[in-house]
Homo-oligomer: A and B are copies of this chain.
Amino acid sequence: MPDTPTLAPAAAPGPVAYARFLDLIADKLAATEEVFRVNLGSDVPFIAEAGSYIAGSGGKRMRPALLLLASRLLGHDSDEEVTYAAVVELIHTATLIHDDIIDHAAIRRGQTTLNNLWGNSLTVLLGDWLYSRAMQMALSHGNLEVVRALCDATLRMTEGELLALRRLGAADVDADEYFAIIERKTACLFAASCALPALIDPYRPEAETALRRYGRQLGICFQLVDDLLDFTASEREVGKPVLSDLKEGKLTLPLILALPRVDAAARRKVEMVLEDRAFERVAPDEILALVRAQGTLGEVEELAERSAVEAREALEAFPHSPAREALEAAPAFVLHRRS
């Protein structure tokens, strides 16, 4: 994978000129990649090795891009926001690494996972190391409120993962539970990434509230789309097999909304995949037909669109500027992405 951010225009799908993000913050994103890469270095040989594997593994760099755009929106232009952009990506990466252990995932973003490469034990410790390194970096600018916000988001994310894990394999997860989980698991770090620049001196409480609202809605939108893509995108597009979530025991919103409306035989099919953690007794197409018949993919898309609208509305608190325009374009990019 290239060293440059993978937010390149060539990758931008759909109607949105996602290049707007890059025009405005291309230099900062490149600087973030460098800070990210340097801080994955260590005098412990294994960490250095794993670090360069991680740095080269790509990723959309959504959270850094949002943090940098929010910084631009507020008129910041220093190394501080670049550090924080690398920090949120590090925290996100640490979460993914521990998640992959839990999911027994062998592939992520089309690449072999660390747990598959080096085993669970080293990977547990590597995730711990990344969390500590992220906090260490966050501390380097002496801004306590920033570190607090990152720490709170990390704690909530872990809680989200724990809530989800406790319900793994369950066929009776409801929509409220689903939203409580994605709120913590995804929306919290999006919200923190967007709001962090408001904590950079001078503290701007109103901007913090608006950007937090923006990030939260965008995070919810992002997760809804992520869960939709598991039904609709091809393996080549998302870098993992279709219906991976269900195969891992995770019930997501399209099925959560569909299940109460179908008969016992159809419900039983979903339960069998959850039980087997495999498509043995049921074919993927049967599950796809089930959600398509109920129209819940469309319903979830509508919910994602509603979140996108609410995210954009939160930006009305700010005067018009290229940064605001770029942030306004982000929800549409999130909605129309194919990977």
Task: Give chain A's interface residues, CB within 8 Å of chain B.
Answer: 42, 44-47, 98, 101-102, 120-122, 124-129, 131-133, 135-136, 139, 142, 144, 147-148, 151-152, 154-155, 158-159, 161-163, 165-166
Contact = CB atoms under 8 A, between A and B. Distances in A.
B136 A151 contact: yes
B102 A121 contact: yes
A269 to B, nearest CB: 26
A132 B147 contact: no
A247 to B, nearest CB: 16
B129 A131 contact: no
A44 B162 contact: yes
Give 7 nearest A-B pairs by CB, closest first. Answer: A132-B155, A102-B121, A129-B158, A132-B154, A128-B158, A136-B151, A135-B151
B124 A136 contact: no
Contacts of A161: 125
B102 A159 contact: no
A132 B148 contact: no
Contact of A131 (B42, B131, B163): B131
Given A124-B127, A139-B148, 9 more contacts: A47-B162, A122-B162, A125-B162, A128-B128, A128-B154, A132-B158, A136-B155, A139-B147, A142-B144
